Structure 1
Amino acid sequence: MGALPANVEVRLVAPDPAPLPDLTEVDLVVPLQRIRKPLLEILAGPPSRLRVIQTLSAGVDWLIGRVPEHVIVCNARGVYDAPLAEWVVGAILAMQRGLVRARDAQTRREWDEIEPPELAGRRVVILGMGSIGTAIADRLRPFGVDVVGVARTARTGARGLDELDDVLREAAILVNILPLTSETRGILDARRLGLLPDGALVVNAGRGRTVVGDALLEELRAGRLRAALDVHEIEPLPADHPLWDLPNVLVSPHMAGESPDSTRRAFELAGDQVRRFARGEPLINEVARYLLE
């Protein structure tokens, strides 16, 4: 986090089972997993000193409906753009160019004849055109694909969510990078998944619950769609979940944005925010209230 001003007192969260610091006495908190539950309890109680929650993640869905008006939430937007975009491109290439099938054949020691489709010339729809979606688009365009972005509202370079049905009908590859909100929960349901062309690839690196899992599973079991999934409705994905055994599915354990560099950037951001707060300067990455409702 770097050097902090003299007027900042830091209270570290020690590993379990060490006692937790008194969160009612802090003005700004960087919530690691261990203090999420006690933090939510404080947010549900009478007003405390807490004024800022600076997450180390881009997603803040665990705070939906829990944050009073006087508390500002800031996320780690920008921290995970590069590794997450790399994962998406890698997953698309692995599925599109037959690398997953080749690896499966390798485990069986079989010399399988594979003629996978090219990526060039395909239409890739990116659902969620924030900083991560933009980074994905920038890395995909050199492959000669037709990138179509979809944002909450239409703007230059992105179509609006109200056009989603039309966009899905021509998507050879759908990249879902949406955050989980009351508006996006289950947005990719059976009807919308049914709009995708036969053989389309669904790549989900946003939030698992933006997709209706049973509806996607039905399409995958039928072999009509393919999928590369880093996020899931239930995490960790249960060992007996049918997704593990489907040959047209690539599963990874919610690690698309993880890297030593992204961890370093997350804590550097937290340190910068503490210094801004201590100096009375405006904070960055403030989360819009509609994302917390």
Structure 2
Amino acid sequence: MQILIPHAFSHIKLPNGISATIFDGDVDELPPNLDEIEIYVPSYMGGDGIYNAIDKMPRLKWLQLLTAGIDRALPFMREGVTLCNAKGVHDDATAELTIALILTRLRGIDATIRAKNQGWSTRKTRPSIFGAKVTIIGAGSIGRRIATLITAFGGLPTLVSKGGHNDTIAFNVCEEVVRNSDIVVVVVPLTSETKGLIDANFLAMMPNNSLLINVARGEVVVTADLYKEVSSGRISAGIDVTDPEPLDPSHPLWECENVVITPHVGGATKSFYIKATELLEDNLARISRGETPKNVIEGSY
């Protein structure tokens, strides 16, 4: 069985019966033996072209992503190919960035950086995570990790899921919670249902001086609606993802001093390679034994 894998993971231990073809992650440099590939691991955060290659792999059986989100891969899926995502790999890193974005806004770190040598002019009493009511839209493994860290800081998290179950509330009945939130964190997958989920109506429910954090996908938030709210100064935001992405340097969101924007780096830490290696080696071992690998995507996502 042949696997096509990015050079960054050429070090992984392969089980008996699986051999690797290594590529540098660039779709313009794909190897000539694509017709032999049965397992494909697209490069992390590569362009859409990394999925176009699937059409050239007639024997493909397994598509193992290095991302938690599957939205970019779905249009290229076909009958007979099993899709696995990287659930669990990015939980800690994305939760860390969420806390960083929250603290940057709440504690005025962004204002202090802008003030440079006049930093003392920004010294004042500011909000804290401690005691803050934090609504987390998305109750998957990343959302739950964020909730754990919020709790560690003394915050009060509420998890919101699609239908509401166990310790979560349903999105369609979360209005009261949102209206009483100090912070709203968005961490849902991008689907036809969640595209544009955070629109003018949702943002209008958020209280004055509240904070929106988006570590999901840019398309989940309607950019024009977000800009209208933050430019008025009514709410602020910390966003790791944008729509479009990357955000044009001339976009007015860059000029909003109450908005912190990072360049989609939620999972981009050194720990990614350690955790992704563990997942790849585990799943390849399972496949070689004829077992079902972890994180198989079934039904609606």
Q: TM-score, normalised by structure 2?
A: 0.89
Listed as ranges, the matches of 1:131-150 within 5 Å are 131-150=141-160
Matched with 1:193 is 203
> Counterpart in 2 of 1:29?
40
1:129 corresponds in structure 2 to 139
1:15 and 1:91 map into 2 onto residues whose CA distance is 30
Report the alpha carbon displacement of residue 192 of structure 1 after superposing the two structures with TM.
0.9
- Which amino acid in 1 is paired with 2:52? L
Q: Which residue number corresponds to residue 31 of structure 2? A: 20
> Does 2:107 correspond to 1:102?
no
Which of the numbers 221, 230, 234 marks the counterpart of 2:240? 230
Give the aligned residue type for 1:26: I
In the alignment, structure 1 residue 58 sits paired with structure 2 residue 59: no
**1:108 CA displacement:** 5.4
CA contact (8 A) 1:54 1:73 kept: yes
Q: From the superposition, tell whether residues 269 and 15 of structure 1 become closer, same or farther in structure 2 (CA, over 3 Å).
A: closer
Q: Does 1:165 find its partner at 2:175?
A: yes
Provide the C-alpha distance between the structure 2 equivalents of 1:24 and 1:152, rounded to a whole number of angstroms. Answer: 40
Aligned-residue offset at 1:36:
4.8
State the alpha-carbon separation in 1 of the partners of residues 129 and 264 from structure 2: 24
Bigger mean CA offset, 107-116 vs 124-133: 107-116
Distance change in 2, residues 1:252/1:8 (3 Å): same
Distance 1:107 1:202 in 2: 29
Report SS of the residue matched to 1:289. Answer: coil
- Contact 1:97/1:119, CA 8 A, preserved across alignment: no
* CA displacement at 1:110 relative to structure 2: 6.1
Q: Give 2:261's match in structure 1, choosing from 248, 251, 255.
A: 251
Q: Counterpart of 2:97?
A: 87
Per-residue deviation, 1:107: 5.8
2:52: which partner in 1?
40
Matched-pair contact (CA < 8 Å) for 2:68–2:86 = yes
Gaps of 5+ in 2: 1-10
Structure 2 CA distance for partners of 1:60 and 1:145, relative to 1, 3 Å: same
| Aligned twin of 2:5 | none
Q: Match of 1:91, as an amino acid?
A: L
Q: What's the secondary structure of 1:6's corresponding residue?
A: coil
Residues 108 and 122 in structure 2, CA contact (< 8 A), matched pair in contact too = no
* Aligned counterpart in structure 2 of residue 289 of structure 1, from 271, 276, 299: 299
Structure 1 residue 80 displacement after superposition? 0.9
How far the C-alpha of 1:112 sits from its partner, in A, is 3.0
Aligned pair count reads 289
Change (3 A) 1:35 1:109: closer
One-letter amino acid of the structure 1 residue matched with residue 202 of structure 2? R
The one of the two structures with greater contact order (alpha-carbon pairs below 8 A, sep at least 6) is 1
Shift of 1:265: 1.4
Q: Which residue of 2 aligns with 1:118?
A: 128
TM-superposed deviation, 1:153? 1.8
Cα displacement (A) at 1:11? 1.1
Distance 1:34 1:154, change over 3 A: closer
Partner of 2:166: 156
Q: Select between 10-19 and 203-212 the one with higher mean Cα deviation.
A: 10-19
CA separation of 1:42 and 1:143: change in aligned 2, threshold 3 A: closer
What's the secondary structure of 2:157's corresponding residue? Answer: strand
| 2: CA distance, partners of 1:220 / 1:95 | 13
